[in-house]
Amino acid sequence: MAGDGGLAIEARGVVRRFGPVEALRGLDITVPYGQVTALVGANGAGKTTLLLILATLLAPDAGTVRIAGHDALARPAEARDALGWMPDAFGVYDQLTVDEYLGFFADAYGLPKQERPRRIRALLSLVHLDDHLGRPVHALSRGQKQRLGMARALVHRPRVLLLDEPASGLDPRSRIELRDLLRSLAADGVAVLVSSHILSELEEIADRVVLVDHGRTAGDHAMAEITGTSARVRWRIRSLDPEPLASALARELEELPWVQAADVAGGAEVGPLTEGEAAGLLARLVAAGVPVSGLAPAGSALESAYLAMTENRR
């Protein structure tokens, strides 16, 4: 399905200004087929601006954008045929029913008429909205609208999928279904680029993480590199008695000046430490007689990595 075998997305030196605001300041990004790439970064970092440009809905002031091998600036229609787009907010098609809504996009993408009803039913079933066929779009809940937006993005079986915070309004089950859907699309060779602030979920969804900071790419990492056993994260240590834990930790950390510890309910949080370093610390605490009842990563590894990468950037 990867077609030309090249990159799904290749954007270089992308600049976009809004009046005095430089939303994108020469951003570079490449996205391969068959993987889920996560776009993370602070509010206002430029993620939505980038996704709109990749979706050919916003023109950059400078830079080049290739989507599925097409020059997206010179030939936007060809790029649009190859890509599916799910915005962070739902558009205004409120007078339409759910199937009319998908029919509208099936039409716009030139899906053969006789194929449409079957395709629409398959899409609604994919996002678990089968029961809502014939209902007006405005009667859907926020999360249901988002799932409809996902179905819309997939109408024409795009090879490149751009999603702006697709999980933000979803209930826990729908989030798991979204994760499974994105994984299976990637397994089919689709290039998925997804922005999200829910880092703990991205950890399970994404193969790669691209960090956007003040309109530029500030990091590009394989997820395995971030979440592997050599990644340094914070650890939560539980103790039956906080006193001996606090004093033993204070002694231990004299040797490890870069490690920080804080008291939390039921114990302490320490880090950043690798899994091996945490295991060593645990052994020494137990040997010192601390009644340790638990050791576990605090938050997700991606969250820790994100905080470390953005520490000095605020």
Ligand X SMILES: Nc1ncnc2c1ncn2[C@@H]1O[C@H](COP(=O)(O)OP(=O)(O)OP(=O)(O)O)[C@@H](O)[C@H]1O
- Which stretch, 48-56, 63-71, 212-220, 277-285, contacts Mg ion (CB under 5 A)? 48-56
Q: Which does 37 bind (CB under 5 to 8 A by kind): Mg ion, ligand X, none?
A: none
In this chain, which of 8, 14, 36, 46 binds ligand X, going by CB under 6 A? 46
Q: Which does 23 bind (CB under 5 to 8 A by kind): Mg ion, ligand X, none?
A: ligand X
Greatest alpha-carbon pair distance for the chain in Å reads 74
Total residues at interface with ligand X (CB under 6 A): 11
**Residue 48 binds Mg ion, judged by CB under 5 A:** yes
CA dihedral 168, 103, 83, 50 (to 10 degrees): -40
CB nearer to ligand X: give 44 or 91. 44
Inter-CA distances, 38 with 82, 178, 198, 222, 230, Å: 19, 14, 11, 10, 21
- Which stretch, 44-52, 93-101, 154-162, 237-245, contacts ligand X (CB under 6 A)? 44-52
Q: How far is the CB of 201 from ligand X (least distance, A)?
A: 15
**Cβ atoms within 10 Å, residue 83:** 25
In this chain, which of 18, 117, 222, 280 binds ligand X, going by CB under 6 A? 18
Q: Which does 21 bind (CB under 5 to 8 A by kind): Mg ion, ligand X, none?
A: ligand X
CA dihedral 205, 209, 211, 212 (to 10 degrees): -70
Q: How far is the CB of 88 from Mg ion (least distance, A)?
A: 6
- Compute the distance between CA of residue 107 and CA of residue 117 in angstroms, rounded to an integer: 11
**Residue 43 binds ligand X, judged by CB under 6 A:** yes
- Compute the distance between CA of residue 3 and CA of residue 69 in angstroms, rounded to an integer: 9
- Compute the distance between CA of residue 117 and CA of residue 104 in angstroms, rounded to an integer: 12
CB nearer to ligand X: give 57 or 176. 57
CB nearer to ligand X: give 50 or 281. 50
**Residue 149 binds ligand X, judged by CB under 6 A:** no
Q: Among residue numbers 196 through 215, which ones bind ligand X (CB under 6 A)?
A: none
In this chain, which of 8, 10, 11, 41 binds ligand X, going by CB under 6 A? 41
Residue 185's H or E segment, with its range, is: helix 172-187
- Which stretch, 28-36, 45-53, 68-76, 149-157, contacts ligand X (CB under 6 A)? 45-53
Strands lying side by side in the sheet with 292-297: 260-264, 267-273, 233-239, 292-297
Residue with tokens 């990867």: 2
CB nearer to ligand X: give 49 or 174. 49
Nearest to 193 by CA among 83, 65, 1, 39: 39
Q: Which residues bind ligand X (CB under 6 A)?
A: 18, 21, 23, 41, 43-49
Q: Which residues bind Mg ion (CB under 5 A)?
A: 47-48
